[in-house]
C-alpha cells in the first residue's frame, strides 16, 4: 500500500460518517513521481485530497464558492510532507480535524 492509499484508508471512516463518497481518483496518468488526487462529494460539498509526488506532500482542499466566477479549491490545512508510516497517521489526524471543522461549520 502506498502513502496515498494509506492516508485515504485512515480518513475513510470520517469521510463516510459525513456521507462523502469518492467520485474521482486521478493518478495523473503519465505524470512523473506518482502525483495523485481523489475527490469526495456529498450534495454540494466536495473535498479533495492531493498528493504531490515530486516533493512528497499532501494537502486537503474543499471546493468553495466565490462571489465572482466559478468555485475554487481552498486548502483546509497546510500542506504536509510525508516521511514514514507514523507521519501518515499524523497527517490523517491533522486532515481529519480540518475536515471536521469545515463540515461542522457548514
Chain segment 32-71, per-residue pLDDT in tens: 777 889 999 998 899 999 998 888 899 999 998 776 778 8
Long-range contacts of 63-68 (CB under 8 A, 24+ apart): none
Q: Which pTM value belongs to this model?
A: 0.86
Question: Alpha-carbon distance 63 to 72, whole Å?
Answer: 6
Q: Which residue has the cell 474521482?
A: 24
40: how many CB neighbours lie within 10 A of its CB?
A: 22
pLDDT at 86 over 70: yes
Amino acid at each position: 500500500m502506498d502513502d496515498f492509499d494509506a492516508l485515504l484508508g485512515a480518513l475513510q471512516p470520517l469521510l463516510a460518517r459525513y456521507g462523502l463518497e469518492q467520485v474521482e481518483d486521478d493518478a495523473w496518468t503519465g505524470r512523473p513521481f506518482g502525483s495523485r488526487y481523489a475527490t469526495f462529494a456529498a450534495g454540494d460539498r466536495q473535498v479533495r485530497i492531493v498528493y504531490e509526488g515530486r516533493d512528497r506532500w499532501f494537502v486537503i482542499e474543499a471546493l468553495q464558492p466565490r462571489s465572482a466566477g466559478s468555485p475554487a479549491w481552498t486548502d483546509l490545512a497546510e500542506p504536509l510532507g510525508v516521511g514514514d508510516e507514523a507521519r501518515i497517521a499524523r497527517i490523517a489526524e491533522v486532515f481529519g480535524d480540518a475536515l471536521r471543522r469545515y463540515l461542522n461549520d457548514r
